[in-house]
Amino acid sequence: MKNPPKRSRRPWVPQNRDVAVLMYDGLCTFEFGIAVEMFGLSRPELPEWYRFGLCAVDAGEMRAAGGMRVLADNGLEALATAGTVIVPGWRGVDAAPPPVLLDALREAHARGARLLSFCSGVFVLAATGLLDGRRATTHWRYIDALAQRFPRIRIEPDVLYVDEGSLLTSAGSAAAIDLSLHLIRRDYGPAVANMVARRAVVPAHRDGGQAQFIQWAVPEQGATLGKLLEWMRRHLDQPLPLPELAERARMSERTLLRRFEEATGCSPKQWLTRERLNRARELLEGSDLPVERVADVCGFGSADTLRHHFRHHLQLSPARYRERFTHAR
């Protein structure tokens, strides 16, 4: 695979780096822990990082899943200065958020804050009315309840996360990691997001449009497929037709198609398109390579083909994508 020259592009850093995470009675411990891991840990190796704080929805000591008791130093007044607000789940899809919380979230958003929800936290954002007419997602178990209660939301039922600019929602549990890394990638660039992912020992990037779950476990041939996937990633600039992939995997084309979909949830062609898009996004964000060169390096063959896939999957042209990443949103 060709190794394109890399030139430094300073990532956009959010003007307001204050991150406020809600704490509430019945706190979802796992989702809360993800917020701490992704945004609250010290990053001394970086010149700038988020400033992390906790905001209590309820007064006094609060219960958390697993039998813990938690306290927060600040109340909802801290949302008034936050640049990013995270709702790490909610105490129940049938539990109405208090009006004072909804008002504080509306005011924060009107002031320019970004609102993120993890898993069932989307029910809090939905109750504000801010998601009306917008796309959103949640855990697959809660999709029907969300649709019935908030019919004006354009629900994406099978994705890991949805980015609507200043309103971001994720599917269940670990998908919150994917959304967090996506936002870090937006704010600080792919190199920093990759560093955070390595420290957390998680995949650096799973596309938001990836399915929430795969019906079957990775089959016995998973090791073979894993090696094939890594090889495909290293050769994205090449055509990689199905017969060549089947030969390398030592399977028939029919068997490869079946086992590939069992292991990844998509066909080799769909997987390659997604990986090539991911690589193109990294190059557009982190280098000054012209679009034609990016298309060549990523295996799209032409700038027109690259533009087609960007518009289809991201609703943006490559040039507009680069512009949005480079400049403050």
- Angle between helix axes 303-314 and 291-298 (nearest 10 degrees) is 80
90 pLDDT above the threshold of 80:
yes
The answer to whether 118 touches 31, Cβ cutoff 8 Å, is yes
Mean of pLDDT values over 106-127: 97
Residue 159: the pLDDT is 85
Residue 118, pLDDT > 80, answer yes
In this structure, is residue 8 part of a structural domain? no
Q: What is the pLDDT of residues 269-293, one digit of tens each?
A: 999 998 999 899 889 988 889 999 9
Give the pLDDT mean for 183-198. 87
Q: What is the mean pLDDT of residues 11-29?
A: 87
Q: How many domains does the chain have?
A: 3
Please report which helix (H) or strand (E) contains residue 115, including its range: strand 114-118
Tell which wins on pLDDT, 186 or 53.
53
pLDDT in tens, 32-42: 999 999 999 99
Rounded distance, CA 291 to CA 127, Å? 42
Same domain, 58 and 131: yes
Nearest alpha-carbon partner for 299 in 225, 233, 243: 233
Q: Which of 265, 299, 318 is the last residue of a domain?
A: 265
Answer whether residue 166 shows pLDDT above 60: yes
CA dihedral (240, 242, 247, 251) positive or negative: positive
Q: pLDDT at position 167, please?
A: 96
Look at residue 2 and tell me if it is in a domain. Answer: no
Mean pLDDT score across all residues of the chain:
88
Residue 5 lies in a domain: no
23-35 mean pLDDT = 97
Residue 95 lies in a domain: yes
Do residues 131 and 153 lie in contact, with contact meaning Cβ atoms separated by under 8 Å? Answer: yes
Token pair belonging to 10: 């300073």
Let me know whether 33 and 152 are in one domain: yes
Residues 6+ apart with CB under 8 A from 235: 1
Are 170 and 278 within one domain?
no
Alpha helices in the chain (DSSP H): 29-35, 99-111, 122-128, 143-149, 175-188, 190-200, 222-234, 242-249, 253-264, 268-286, 291-298, 303-314, 318-326
pLDDT-wise least confident of 30-34, 93-97, 323-327? 323-327
More confident: 30 or 174: 30
Q: Do 142 and 113 lie in a common domain?
A: yes
- Whether residue 277 is found in the same domain as residue 261: no
Give the Cβ contact number of residue 325 at 10 Å: 19
CA dihedral (97, 129, 52, 209) positive or negative: positive
The stretch 97-114 carries a mean pLDDT of: 97
By C-alpha distance, which of 267, 271, 275, 261 is closest to 221? Answer: 261
pLDDT of residue 10: 45
Which has the higher per-residue pLDDT, 235 or 194?
235
Opening angle at CA 134, ends 131 and 136, nearest 5: 75
Q: Are residue 149 and residue 243 in the same domain, yes or no?
A: no
CATH code for position 175: 3.40.50.880
Comparing 78 with 2, the larger pLDDT belongs to 78
Full residue range of the structural domain in which residue 172 is found: 18-200
The reported pLDDT for the residue numbered 316 is 84
> What whole-number distance in Å separates Cα of residue 211 and Cα of residue 183?
19
Both 299 and 261 in a single domain?
A: no
Task: Name, in order, each residue with C-beta under 8 angstroms of 147's C-beta and a sequence gap of 6 or more.
Answer: 153, 155
Q: In sequence order, which residues have a C-beta less than 8 Å from that of residue 95 and are 6 or more positions away? A: 26
3-state SS, residue 316: coil
According to the model, what pLDDT value does residue 113 have? Answer: 96
CATH of the domain at 274: 1.10.10.60
Q: Are residues 132 and 230 in the same domain?
A: no
Q: Please state at what angle helix 318-326 crosses helix 291-298, rounded to 10 degrees.
A: 110
Alpha-carbon torsion angle 10, 16, 17, 21, nearest 10? -140
User: How many C-beta atoms surround the C-beta of residue 176 within 10 A?
Assistant: 31
> Do 124 and 64 share a structural domain?
yes
